[in-house]
Structure 1
Amino acid sequence: MPRLQPENMEHNKSLYERVNDIASRKGCTPSQLALAWVHHQGNDVCPIPGTTKIENLKENIEALSVKLSAEEMSELESIASVGVKGDRYGPGVSTWRTSDTPPLSTWKGT
């Protein structure tokens, strides 16, 4: 996992710590903060988290009560703009980047 390699780990850990600090100040989990950030992107954006556990579903729903100020949104944007270092998956793992999906125009019924 490239993101967890030593050359990327310290950078990515510092981003997580910054997000975790904001979450602590807000009294929520980092996951709830992330969902709230997506929710605050506009009325045409809705996070769709997946879970198989009721306790995680409840935590995700509680993210709707996390309100973010313009300053907090700006702080989160600055963290997101830096971005994590390293690919999520190593070589040999199929992802959207390596898929061979036909163009939408070739799909039947479109």
Structure 2
Amino acid sequence: MSLLQRGVYPSQLALAWVHHQGNDVCPIAGTTKIENLNENIGALSVKLSAEDMAELESTASAGVKGDSHGPGLNTWKTSDTPPLSTWKAT
């Protein structure tokens, strides 16, 4: 059963993979939404086995094709984040 089939979100999988690269690597995920932050924090509980890492390396070495920011995808250029001047400290 793949990690995604076990309920691991793609963002958690990516962060867990970076975290498992060694003790001198620390993933820093940026987000503007609390629900995404909570999801990212969940990556700390994702434990990747040697088999999981081998599967991920195999998939990555096969090559990833396509535009990562194709039409319709939300990026910093198209986000609706309010201006910093409107933010209120809590």
Match of 1:75 among 55, 61, 70: 55
- SS of alignment partner, residue 44 of structure 1: coil
Please report how far the alpha carbon of residue 60 of structure 1 lies from its aligned counterpart in structure 2 after TM superposition.
0.4
Comparing both chains, which one has the higher relative contact order based on Cα–Cα distances under 8 Å and sequence gaps of 6 or more? 1
Distance of 2:4 and 2:21 partners within structure 1:
17
- Paired with 1:29 and 1:89, the residues of 2 have a C-alpha distance of 19
- 1:22 corresponds to: 3
| Higher share in helix | 1
Alignment correspondent of 1:34: 14
Q: Report the RMSD for the aligned CA atoms in angstroms.
A: 1.8
Q: Structure 1: state its 5+ residue gaps.
A: 1-20, 91-110
User: How many pairs are equivalent?
Assistant: 69
* Long gaps (5+) in structure 2: 71-90
SS in structure 2 opposite 1:55?
helix
The whole-number CA distance in structure 2 between the counterparts of 1:66 and 1:23 is 11
Normalization by structure 1: what TM-score? 0.56
Q: TM-score, normalised on structure 2?
A: 0.67
Percentage of identical aligned residues: 78
